[in-house]
Amino acid sequence: MTRTTTYTTDGGDLVIEFDYQPYEAATDVAPATPESADVYSVMAGNFEILDWCSEPSIAFFEEKCLESVQFERDNSF
């Protein structure tokens, strides 16, 4: 499921687009899969910066994406 979140930095907002995979419980034929976020775009203004991001930065953005999903879950009515 494709989602978008905004992460605010001192230099401005980053718009992060990511694919979200929710947690899936184990079945008789498949192991459980944890929830995950796969970042495929990080925009700083009109510039795509994902190719310039380090692996630790991408992992950080993935964590922020999962936090945004949790925030939506906690605040939905």
Q: What is the pLDDT of residue 1?
A: 78
Tokens of 29: 């034929």
pLDDT reading at 8 higher than 80? yes
Burial 18-36 (b: 16+ CB within 10 A, else e): beeeeeeeeeeeeeeeeee
75: left (phi over 0), alpha (psi -120 to 50) or beta: alpha
Q: What is the pLDDT of residue 12?
A: 94
Domain borders along the chain are 2-20+33-74
Q: What is the pLDDT of residue 76?
A: 80
Mean pLDDT, range 57-62, rounded to an integer: 97
pTM: 0.87
Q: What is the pLDDT of residue 54?
A: 97
